[in-house]
Amino acid sequence: MANDRSKVSVGDMMKNMDDVIYRRQESEDTKSPLIPFYWGLRVGKEDLPKDANQQTVNGQYVDRFGNRLDEHRARNGGFFANATNNIPDMFDSNFKGGLGTKLLDWKQGDPTHPLREAENRHYMVLAARRLAALVRQIRLIDPDGTVNIIAHSQGTLISLLAQAYLVEGLVPNSCGPADRPADTLVLIDSPYSLSEEFMDRLLQRGDLQQTAYARANTLANLAGHVASGKHATPALDQLKYVPGQDNFGIVGPTWDPTQATRLGGPQGNESVVFAERDNRGKVYMYFSPEDATVGLRGVNGMGCSGLPDAIDVRAAPAGSKPEKVSLLSAAFRQRVFTRRLREGKPVQVGTPPGLFTMREEGETSHGLPGGFTTWAKSATISVGTERNINGEALTPPFDPEMEGNVLPGTEKTPLSKKNRGQHAPGKQSIDQLEAEIALSTNSGAGALQQLPAQTIDWPTSEDGKLPAPGEVEASLNAGKEPDDQCKVGRVMSTVPPSPGQIIVYRQETLNEAKVRLMNTHEAESSYHSAVMSGRRNHRGATAFDVSVGQARAMDDPDWATLLRAVADWRTSMSKIDKLTKAHTNLDDQTLRIVRANCEYYAQGDFPPEDVVPKAFPPGVVSETIEMRNEEIHKQVRARSHHNMSI
């Protein structure tokens, strides 16, 4: 784990890792309204290396660009480099390779997050469609079902896009009562960006980059869907527990619609009274200035930079007037989670709403060491930049938990004497999946290493000849799994000669390489998952920002099992069929999307356009630099023609 210094051995390696990692485990007595949503990329035959010998690198399956795949030729969540900072790019684009990308990959030197060309991003649109189908199915079971979506990173863009499909209908112009947005969205560490990033335009999108006008309006529209779709049933006072009566919500026996109690205090055992609120129809955005992933140049996501109250933009067509797009409101709120210390104390989450200075004199943009590399990689936050933190006050406010993913003690190193109140990023170790990604690059620390000379027992031949390396290799590998086999380079006599022994120079096995990486490779934390993984952050903030309501669909264990199966893109259609019972039939629209997803995961055949449309749904605004330039050229030509002498 990222925060665990314990040494691992070959015996600790997970077998069939790709079938067990990132799957929520529940005991038989678990009763939870949670539905984990999983999505990802399945590579088709056309995106695999044509030469079968090149389809694996160091025991890892790879696509034709060299990206690591699991044994199903899939990648949960897609590739790191293939993430986007806007929604139109999810429909028909991909992360590009080329010399510039190769130089960036070499410069960053991180084999666990390689930058490789990638496949079409439309798998993200399929995920948004399936998420919308899941929410709609819940509402078909219970029209007043309360749905909160807590999303992280690229999942925030998928969740926003899903709202458009919930408003439009999975089949356009066929909306019913179940076609309404989620009650509350909590967007954490989102890469969504309002800016036209130079690095993105230079190395990736060129003149197909989305304009600030399109970005701002799309975000405002999709967040607006949640606000305009606010569902007031059941009323909060109907959720209150009354003995002997049907209560409509998941609340405690002393809960009240105006105020309630929670455990708090230094030991977590004190009763704290707080004001209850109705969060239906709201979007919350959690951001962290130290998020070095969405803070990269070329990304500059709102999950790092926060949102202004409004942004001034202008559409490309001639005659368009400047407009101010409002973003923050009573229905769109943000909270900041930061490692910064101000006046020697942590910046608490949940203090009364007000302005927050993102960067004060003497502070760096993201809490990173200075120098050219940091400047070249990271977007700049100007000194004095302010953000309106309009998330409601919390009772009590709390110190954010930001160091849960780092090796204990590594987060305490002062950044420098110049940068007051800041500490250098903590260090992280890597897990088995990251080690296998590194091996798939076959470069740097991810390349198999030669081991020191090893003395082994070997019967001495009558003529004194040494065995061939291949003979020794076959003997060492006999009866072992592929990941425990090695390559022998040289065989030598012991010095002085020792009967019955030889010296072998061999390469480490794949499992030995994984162990080496997991035990020795430490990298700076990007803090991209710090907010999401901090339990205190959710106990202190998220729990009070989601909507209180009911989860009738999850009260039925058969429905609960089926809905969770639908939410996991790796579930086979045969399992869906087995879980479907007389009273748990999926709606035709849901079933159509689920079946297409199952076929995609099983075969790599992407669904047709009637399942995953190529056209943008209402609310998603697309305007590119190219479109803006064409309008400018038209206006220049028109003026030139008008000024021509007769």
Lowest mean pLDDT among 3-7, 294-298, 408-412: 3-7
* 318 and 391 housed in the same domain: yes
pLDDT value, residue 561 = 93
- As a whole number, the mean pLDDT across the chain is 92
In this structure, are strands 427-428 and 454-457 parallel, antiparallel, or unpaired? Answer: unpaired
Q: Which of 252-261, 416-425, 466-475 has the lowest mean pLDDT?
A: 416-425
Answer whether residue 167 is part of any domain.
no
Q: Do residues 406 and 466 share a domain?
A: no
Average pLDDT over residues 154-160: 98
Do residue 354 and residue 496 come from a single domain?
no
Q: What is the mean pLDDT of residues 474-497?
A: 94
Greater confidence, 46 or 253?
Answer: 46
**pLDDT tens for each residue of 426-447:** 999 999 999 999 999 999 999 9
The predicted-structure confidence for 18-28, as pLDDT tens digits, reads as follows 888 888 888 88
Segment 117-123 mean pLDDT: 96
Which pLDDT score is estimated for 560?
93
Do 353 and 502 lie in one domain? The reply is no
Same domain? For 498 and 542 the reply is no
- Give the angle subtended at the CA of 80 by the CAs of 77 and 86, to the nearest 5°: 85
Average pLDDT (413-419) is 79
| Strand spans (E) along 302-448 | 310-313, 323-326, 332-336, 341-342, 345-346, 354-357, 386-389, 427-428
Give me the pLDDT at residue 365, please. 87
Segment 283-296 mean pLDDT: 96
The predicted structure's pLDDT at residue 263: 82
Most confident of the ranges 104-113, 254-263, 408-417, 451-460: 451-460
Say which range, 272-276, 440-444, 545-549, has the weakest mean pLDDT. 272-276
CA neighbor of 603 nearest in space, from 22, 70, 74 = 74
Say yes or no: 293 and 362 in one domain.
yes
CB 304 within 8 Å of CB 295: yes
Distance CA 463, CA 239 (A): 90
Residue 141 has pLDDT above 60, yes or no: yes
- Whether the pLDDT of residue 275 is over 80: the answer is yes
Tell me: do 381 and 471 sit in the same domain: no
Domain tally for the chain?
Answer: 2
Amino acid 644: pLDDT: 59
Q: How confident is the model at residue 642 (pLDDT cuts 50, 70, 90)?
A: low
pLDDT at 638 over 90: no
Same-domain status, 384 and 489: no
Q: Between these two residues, 613 and 367, which has the higher pLDDT value?
A: 613
% the chain with pLDDT above 90: 71
**Is residue 2 over pLDDT 70?**
no
Q: Is the pLDDT of residue 172 over 90?
A: no
Higher per-residue pLDDT: 59 or 100: 59
Q: Can you give the residue range of the structural domain that contains 537?
A: 183-429+527-553+616-646
- Asked if residue 538 belongs to a domain, the reply is yes
Distance CA 507, CA 448 (A): 7
**Does the residue 63 lie in any domain?**
no
Check whether residue 372 and residue 257 sit in a common domain: yes
Tokens standing for 126? 């399929």
* Co-location of 495 and 532 in the same domain: no
pLDDT at 1: 58
Annotate 90-133 with DSSP letters as a single string: GTS-----SHHHHHHHHHH--TTS-------TTHHHHHHHHHHH
Inside any domain, residue 231: yes
